[in-house]
Amino acid sequence: MLKLRKFNLVYFFMLAFFPFVICTLEELNAAQTEKGISEQVKESEQRLNQLIQTSEKLKPLIDDPISKKITASEQKEVNAYSKWLKQAIDQMNNLSSRWGTYLRDKNLTPTKKEIKYDPKIAEDLRLFTLQYQLLRDKIYQENKDFQVSSNALKKKRETVRELLLKLK
């Protein structure tokens, strides 16, 4: 019984200590930026360019001709994959458009010698980066989960996978 009480007491202190540690780490993260604004802007522009380039490379895959010798079920699969790919490209274009517009509207260019630190801008750039990472991971996982049976579609899927891996 004594061992059980000691265990419960230790367990209680660990549970009480955990939120304190989390809150402290979040405050440190908010108080200390990992990178300056100009570095964040440069990174944002690089990711934005990667997103745009990947989107442009994926567009031709939608209309890429498929052999006429495929079965009806394979044709259905090709159509479903093409539809998914178009939606993925639209999501990439949407994010890149919003991100580019934000950078232009805030007049953020890395060529400036000094950009004033603004916590709102830093948070916005962090959110765009998070959206970028989530979109990249979501599209990669969906592409990975897509069941392919035809060789032509397998080649498309591998091409998409390689392009998405370059986004990382």
Check residue 76 and give its pLDDT: 86
Per-residue DSSP letter, 38: H
Tokens at 128, concatenated: 């765009």
- For the chain (168 residues), the mean pLDDT of every run of 10, in chain order, is 49 41 39 64 90 92 80 85 93 94 81 67 91 93 81 82 84
CA–CA gap between residue 76 and residue 111 (Å, rounded)? 49
